[in-house]
Structure 1
């Protein structure tokens, strides 16, 4: 393995931290050196995730049962993609010039979840999430474990890769669990970035019709212009819209990306008999009438948290095969220097996905 760089790297770089007071701060930091089994990436794009906003940007809150703030004051961003510029000793798969997506959890590598590729569910003390417990992708360079890297196909851009790293991976896993296919329709509840991803991936997986429900008029209009959804409706219009699209049967497959109690209830109510419902939105509660809504309709519920390393690589290949580009759901791009403005928009009411990019020269 070649352990030299393809081009000189600078001594310092820009990196974004989140103080927890609804601001984003750009610092000057040293460019790290890769150790054994690590690669140094030049970042091409890094997405802003709703969990960053909900658990870090506004205030440093506990997440996933961690005692105390989960964010350790590191460089933010867990949705990175870029190019390997330096590989440490022992790297065997990736080297300088390789384009990669970074799976956003570095697990222990030994537990059953890690061996299945679900490092997200690793509970070992060694588990560290990029942008939470170790430096993440909101920087010009990122030190990553080679084991967390996934090939980024040449047909996809760095922005595509950043979106696959979290939102599209989350949507794909949720849709895989409910077996989306051409035998039935897909209902997507909540058309934020993950919901938009679910609509696009569901289209690629062959759903007969894809219907979206979203309370925000601004987001409904953005979703309707993507040529992904057959129908987009407000929650109060959902019953009529779903009935019209499915001849009154309801949706055979449903994914809730809203993370809200009303959204989850709507998802269950609009599912068809023998329907399959996937819950991927974080936070909130689930409240439903049981007999008519669940039992009598013979529904199956799936709860899905992010995806696995192999499934993320599979998704990247499938997107190429389907001729789909995640980048289409991006409504706003910002340079790292404008990270504060980017976070303010993402925390407000952006139309679609907000990403930070490295500037000219990256695709």
Structure 2
């Protein structure tokens, strides 16, 4: 089979791999969809930023896969051949404190913590091996592209929103309207937010948010954003803010545009932050949360909620590519002038 790897020079490379066999506690998955994450672009596609065990190991890329179990290895207890599944993209040791809580993203055992698509083969190939403990059942009501979106982006956003709490009382600001920010708008609405304001510096992203009707107001990122947002909220600012941009100016906007006693969550990775703690935070008694991916149980909860809400994360996928077009897929995602980008197999490509 062919699989996509990332040399680290803003290119992709298709290589031949053998179809693997599942070992103890593992399954062979026929991949149906694998979406591209911004962290792949930031940390791997342009240049390999991670070092040592945390660095990209030249494996098959793709840490947002979804598919159908083709074969079950010995020792599996729950999943069976034919099950539709989402792969939680970090495989932890399973026994440290963080893993026991379901947060394998924070596994403290460096000898066992390996990310699909980073340190072990991921979903940019027709088949992949996954450990049973890393799987989540994908209901029939959700497509495989829905599932791929849950595997990282939507799961990450849901965790962050749960930290700050979103309800019908809240005006919500989303800074950065890339795929993660768009997901934040979708889930904020599903959780009850009646007023959602989005900002971004890229016109194409603002247009996607407008076209999909995800935000009540979209603002071009700039120095006047705080005053604009306060004008839209009776002079007070928003109750909740979600930074998905990783940009220092947008993060400052998120904090300063939040009203007294408000809450802010930082989801976008990288970059820096420039605050004056007393006027920006302390005197208004605001709270900032950091949020990194999510847990397996929280991701499972999100899947249930998506079915209940009738929300389809695949609606944010603006472009679908076949595996032999993977170079175009990564290049488009790197441009930032799109929503989510997916590499699809079989019927998921036909459903574009």
Give the TM bin, normalised by the shorter chain. over 0.9
Give the whole-Å Cα distance in 2 for the aligned partners of 1:310 and 1:61: 30
Correspondence for 1:108: 93
Shift of 1:360: 3.2
Correspondence for 1:326: 313
Shift of 1:239: 2.8
TM-score (norm 2): 0.96
Does the alignment pair 1:61 with 2:46?
no
Change (3 A) 1:167 1:228: same
Change (3 A) 1:275 1:82: same
How many correspondences in the alignment? 348
Does the alignment pair 1:149 with 2:123?
no
TM-score (norm 1): 0.93
Change (3 A) 1:241 1:325: farther
Give the whole-Å Cα distance in 2 for the aligned partners of 1:333 and 1:49: 14
Does the alignment pair 1:187 with 2:173?
yes
Give the whole-Å Cα distance in 1 for the aligned partners of 2:279 and 2:48: 41
Partner of residue 274 from structure 1, selected from 261, 264, 269? 261
Shift of 1:40: 0.7
Asked if 2 retains the 8 angstrom alpha-carbon contact of 1:339 and 1:356, the reply is yes
Give the whole-Å Cα distance in 2 for the aligned partners of 1:243 and 1:323: 32
Give the whole-Å Cα distance in 2 for the aligned partners of 1:60 and 1:290: 34
SS in 1 for 2:27: strand
Shift of 1:221: 0.4
Give the whole-Å Cα distance in 2 for the aligned partners of 1:190 and 1:272: 19
Does the alignment pair 1:36 with 2:24?
yes
Does the alignment pair 1:359 with 2:346?
yes
Partner of residue 93 from structure 1, selected from 63, 69, 78? 78
Cα root mean square deviation, aligned: 1.3
Correspondence for 1:198: 184
Does the alignment pair 1:84 with 2:72?
no
SS in 2 for 1:30: coil
Q: Which string of whole-angstrom CA distances, capped at 9 and with x for unpartnered residues, describes residues 266-305 of structure 1?
A: 1001011100000011111111111111111110010000
Q: Which string of whole-angstrom CA distances, capped at 9 and with x for unpartnered residues, describes residues 232-256 of structure 1?
A: 1112353344224321211101110
Equivalent residues in 2 for 1:7-22, closer than 5 Å: 13-22=1-10
Where does structure 2 lack aligned partners over 5 or more consecutive residues? Answer: none
Does the alignment pair 1:130 with 2:109?
no
Give the whole-Å Cα distance in 2 for the aligned partners of 1:245 and 1:144: 47
Does the alignment pair 1:163 with 2:155?
no
Change (3 A) 1:298 1:148: same
Asked if 2 retains the 8 angstrom alpha-carbon contact of 1:193 and 1:329, the reply is yes
Partner of residue 176 from structure 1, selected from 145, 151, 162? 162
Asked if 2 retains the 8 angstrom alpha-carbon contact of 1:213 and 1:232, the reply is yes
Give the whole-Å Cα distance in 2 for the aligned partners of 1:324 and 1:225: 17
Q: Which string of whole-angstrom CA distances, capped at 9 and with x for unpartnered residues, describes residues 304-350 of structure 1?
A: 00000001111111111111111111111110111011111111133
SS in 2 for 1:272: strand
